[in-house]
Structure 1
Amino acid sequence: MVDTAPRARWRARLRSQRTLLLLSAPAVVYFLVFHYAALVGNVIAFKDYVPYQGVWESPWIGFDHFSAMFSDESFWQAAWNTVAIAGLQIVFFFPLPIALAMLLHSLAHGAVRKVVQSVVYLPHFISWVIVVALFQQVLGSTGMLNGLLGDAGMHTVDVMADPGAFKPLMVAEIIWKDCGWGTIIFLAALSQVNEQLYEASAIDGAGPWRRFWHVTLPALRPIIILLLIMRLGDILTVGFEQILLQRDAVGPEAGEVLDTFVYWQGVMGADWGYAAAAGLFKGVIGALLVYAANKIAHSMGEQGVYK
């Protein structure tokens, strides 16, 4: 006789969670259609794709696109710019939300904390078009900085059009825009720390630094490692809209990254197969980085992204 108890329990669980399932259904459909089903389109990286022939009727050319890509100096320049900007973001941007979260968490007055949180969250909701325009008004050739330098009789500088300043400028913009938003997860983790641990460590003579090292950091370490692994997987994505808006001001040699490279080759140049090969290369590297970082997290005793 077939045991129907597990099936009955499964149906009962579905009925009890039907509201949550319905709420999550649009997100599930979105990821299935635009992320997983779209992966099939990567096949054009191995084809001489012609739109009017379609994906399956276009002729196979094997790894010709990859051979051309690896011998293309502009591709390697875009890859280097991407890695450089991503490295600067990890070094200078990634720790700042942690520090800001600890600073906000230490504010004793709840009303002050809420006001500061609201202020630092707001830039996240401003579009990149507005953010770039604001920086242009401050650091551009006719911006406030050059106005002050000119009034003082000093040499003016157009930071927004300086290729050497482009990469630090990208990091400064994302710090201003998203640093406050990045504190949300860390504030949630800090709110779960038992205050009695701080009190006990203070009674035992632990100073602020030792309380941070032995109480705060262990509470944040799983979240830090998880977000760092996810950031490594997304390391070759450094902000398409942000960089596309400013690429022309400094030129492709300084401002081209892999995302804009794919855009110009595929969308603007209609070389769809070549652009797909570059995008596929980027995705494979990101997956390998996630796998390696997850293995390292397991070796450190952390859960990581998956087991």
Structure 2
Amino acid sequence: MPNPAPLFTKGIEKPPKYHKNRWKLIKQNWELYLFLLPTLVYFLIFHYWPMYGVQIAFRNFSPALGITGSEWVGLEHFIRFFESYNFWTLMYNTLSLSVLQLVITFPLPIIVALMLNQLIFKRYKRFVQTVIYAPHFISVVVLVGMAYVFFSNNGLINNFIMIFGMDSINFLADANWFKPLYVGSSVWQETGWAAIIYLAALAAVNPELHEAAIVDGASKFQRVIHIDIPAILPIMIILLVLSVGNIMNIGFEKAYLLQTPLNQSSSEIIPTYVYKVGLQQAQYSFAAAVGLFNAIINLILLWYVNRIAKRISGQGLW
């Protein structure tokens, strides 16, 4: 007579052999995995392998000695950055500019997409889309050049102001005007392009939902609130998580090009500081430490916001 099964195994089915099924599926679809191989190799070479060089943030790097031959100093560069006189200024400028841009530029594409989705005249809709998409293709250098043309002492804006007898405003030299110029140019350049994702999601909404809502007497505003917004809510959450996770990586190029000695108290942010210290002053280890600190803050924010989003709405990146 066979031995009875142990008590702790009664009623418990053996788990399926997932690893065998997985390898079987891979063998069956090997062409698809081969198609993904170049992308995998790209990320391994250009994104993961360079992480080896992060250790220079913990060394006193010397090009003559190389990364592994340079002296190990631990957290010395991080402590130096935390104790520097401009640490809090850099943190405030970076966070305030990033949060201001996020608060203003994130909801605007949603509003624009919802408004465009309600337009009836197709030609007018295409015209508006073309006009608001076009600035996205302007390079940052050209955009800053246009800002100098419009907002310099003899620019178009000051000439218009002086027509009414008011004094000209030195927009580019006033630290108080740096953030409005930065955020305003981002709104003009990126709002239309960012709205494409939401328009694509709105195009997938079943028209029968709107027809049923119209029969029930729902207004356009009610249909937007109860049909359109829930349809794009998952995309909104994902893009919000990505935006918050990238909050410390505010655009370097535009901030550096708009920066002048007179507005530096407001325009000096961590990316511009890393560029000046790392490349102009050749303090490679210190600049790497500052950049690594910046990346760690982004990673923490990304994880935390994704966790909150999943807890509230059930949607997240992972």
TM-score, structure 2 normalization: 0.89
Whole-angstrom distance in 2 between the partners of 1:79 and 1:34: 29
Q: Which secondary structure state, in structure 1, belongs to the residue aligned with residue 61 of structure 2?
A: coil
Equivalent position of 1:15 in the other structure: 31
Deviations 1:231-264 (A, max 9, x none): 0110001111010101125443211111111111
Offset of residue 140 of structure 1: 1.2
Cα distance change on mapping 1:119 and 1:268 into 2, 3 Å: same
Consecutive unaligned residues of structure 1, counting only runs of 5 or more, are: none
Offset of residue 207 of structure 1: 2.2
Q: Aligned to 1:273, which of 285, 295, 299?
A: 285
Equivalent position of 1:199 in the other structure: 211
Offset of residue 17 of structure 1: 6.5
Whole-angstrom distance in 2 between the partners of 1:87 and 1:5: 47
Q: Aligned to 2:236, which of 224, 228, 236?
A: 224
Consecutive unaligned residues of structure 2, counting only runs of 5 or more, are: 1-18
Deviations 1:63-105 (A, max 9, x none): 1111111011223212211101111111111101111111111
The letter of the residue matching 2:122 is G
Equivalent position of 2:6 in the other structure: none
CA contact (8 A) 2:140 2:254 kept: yes
Offset of residue 208 of structure 1: 2.5
Percent of aligned pairs with the same amino acid = 36
Greater radius of gyration (CA): 2
CA contact (8 A) 2:26 2:33 kept: no
Cα distance change on mapping 1:210 and 1:282 into 2, 3 Å: same
The letter of the residue matching 1:238 is I
The letter of the residue matching 2:29 is R
Equivalent position of 1:235 in the other structure: 247
Offset of residue 9 of structure 1: 4.2
Offset of residue 210 of structure 1: 2.2
Equivalent position of 1:153 in the other structure: 165
Number of equivalences: 301
Q: Which secondary structure state, in structure 1, belongs to the residue aligned with residue 68 of structure 2?
A: coil
TM-score, structure 1 normalization: 0.92
The letter of the residue matching 1:172 is G
Deviations 1:141-192 (A, max 9, x none): 1101112233443211121221001111110011111111101111111111
Within 5 Å, give how 1:1-307 maps onto structure 2: 7=23, 9-15=25-31, 18=34, 20-21=35-36, 25=38, 27-248=39-260, 250-306=262-318
CA contact (8 A) 1:46 1:62 kept: yes
CA contact (8 A) 1:100 1:183 kept: yes
The letter of the residue matching 2:229 is L
Cα distance change on mapping 1:148 and 1:251 into 2, 3 Å: closer
Cα distance change on mapping 1:149 and 1:110 into 2, 3 Å: closer
Misfit runs of 4+, over 4 Å: 3-9
Q: Which secondary structure state, in structure 1, belongs to the residue aligned with residue 110 of structure 2?
A: helix
Q: Which secondary structure state, in structure 1, belongs to the residue aligned with residue 72 of structure 2?
A: coil
CA contact (8 A) 1:69 1:75 kept: yes
Whole-angstrom distance in 2 between the partners of 1:296 and 1:110: 39
206-215 vs 82-91, greater mean Cα deviation:
206-215
Whole-angstrom distance in 2 between the partners of 1:5 and 1:204: 50
CA contact (8 A) 1:66 1:277 kept: yes
Q: Which secondary structure state, in structure 2, belongs to the residue aligned with residue 265 of structure 1?
A: helix
CA contact (8 A) 1:86 1:236 kept: yes
Whole-angstrom distance in 1 between the partners of 2:22 and 2:148: 62
The letter of the residue matching 1:13 is N
The letter of the residue matching 1:273 is S
Whole-angstrom distance in 1 between the partners of 2:65 and 2:182: 40
Whole-angstrom distance in 2 between the partners of 1:5 and 1:197: 41
Whole-angstrom distance in 1 between the partners of 2:228 and 2:104: 21
Q: Which secondary structure state, in structure 2, belongs to the residue aligned with residue 236 of structure 1?
A: coil
